[in-house]
Structure 1
Amino acid sequence: MIDLDDIDRAILRALQQDATVKTAELGRRLGISQPAAWRRVRRLQEAGVIKGRRLDLDREALGFGVTVFLGIKLATHGRVSLADFERAVTAIPEVLTVQHVLGRYDYRLMVVARDLADFERVLRRRIMTLPGAGEVEANVVLSEERRPGPIG
């Protein structure tokens, strides 16, 4: 774990809001030089605090108006390996995240689809045919509030 000071936290907050902000602008906002801002960002990257920078796409604008969280309980733990299930599920383009979890279900998936009919097709033809797939619970997202998350 890396020790973060107030400037590090401010840099992380700024990059969380806009990952394309330049170090010169970070320095200007925080009252430090561009080289100092660059060194701090580099240190945060090398320490693994900043894993990368991602492009946030508007799924709805791309035609994916439905987001569904699925809980999947494997039917047979011993007969199908977790690796086989994970390899198969990550090959489905509509599955954005795969989380191996504790609790009632073994996996939690975030799935996008164009509409409910498209989701039903993905569910029947791709999800339910996965090796070891058993019980499935679907939660359709009605609305979403995005929060940046805590920076300690």
Structure 2
Amino acid sequence: MIDLDDTDRAFLRDLARDGTLSAGELGRRHGLSQPSAWRRVRRMEEAGILAGQRVTVDRAALGFGVTVFLGIKLATKGRVSLEDFERAVAAIPEVQVVQHVLGLFDYRLRVVARDIADFERVLRRRIMTLPGVGQVEANVLLTEEPRPGPLG
């Protein structure tokens, strides 16, 4: 782990908002030369702090207006392996995130659908037919406010 100063943290905040910022732009924003800013970014990449760039896809603009978080408790952990469940759920394109968690449920899924009727189709035809699925709890996302996280 490398030590980060206030400028490094400011770079991380800026890059978390817009991963396409150049070293020149970061330097201008924070009073550094382009080479100095580039060295800082490069050092954080080499340390594994910066790992790639992301593109944010507007799901609603693509027609996916409903997001549902599902809690899934496997019915028979002994007969169906976690790997079987994970492999099967990975084949469902509407499932955006799969989290293996500790607690009441074994998995949390983030599922997108065009509308509630489309979500019901995905739930009945795809989710409920996954190997080992027992209890399922659904929470429909109403609003989402991205937060800057620990660097904010």
Question: Which band: TM-score by shorter chain?
Answer: over 0.9
Q: CA RMSD in A?
A: 1.1
Structure 1 gap ranges (5+): none
Give the letter for the 1:89 counterpart. V
Normalising by structure 2, we get a TM-score of 0.96
**1:119 is aligned to 2:119:** yes
Q: Count residues in correspondence.
A: 152
**Counterpart in the other structure of 1:60:** 60
Instruction: Return the alpha-carbon distance in structure 1 between the equivalents of residues 125 and 118 of structure 2.
Output: 10
Which runs of no fewer than 5 residues in structure 2 stay unpaired?
Answer: none
Tell me what 1:11 maps to: 11
Aligned equivalents of 2:135, 2:148: Cα separation in 1: 33
Which range moves more in the overlay, 69-78 or 27-36? 27-36
Cα separation, 2, equivalents of 1:82 and 1:34: 48
**1:59-97 CA distance string (max 9 Å, x none):** 101100000000000011111111111111111111110
Partner of 1:80: 80
Give every structure 1 segment of 4 or more consecutive aligned residues whose post-TM-superposition deviation is greater than 3 Å. Answer: none
User: What code does the residue aligned with 1:27 have?
Assistant: G
- Give the superposition deviation at 1:2: 2.4
TM-score (ref. length: structure 1) = 0.96
Taking every aligned residue pair, what percent have the same amino acid on both sides? 75
Q: How big is the shift at 1:47? A: 1.2
- In structure 2, the partner of 1:96 is 96
Distance 2:118 2:8 in 1: 44
Q: 2:71 maps to what in 1?
A: 71
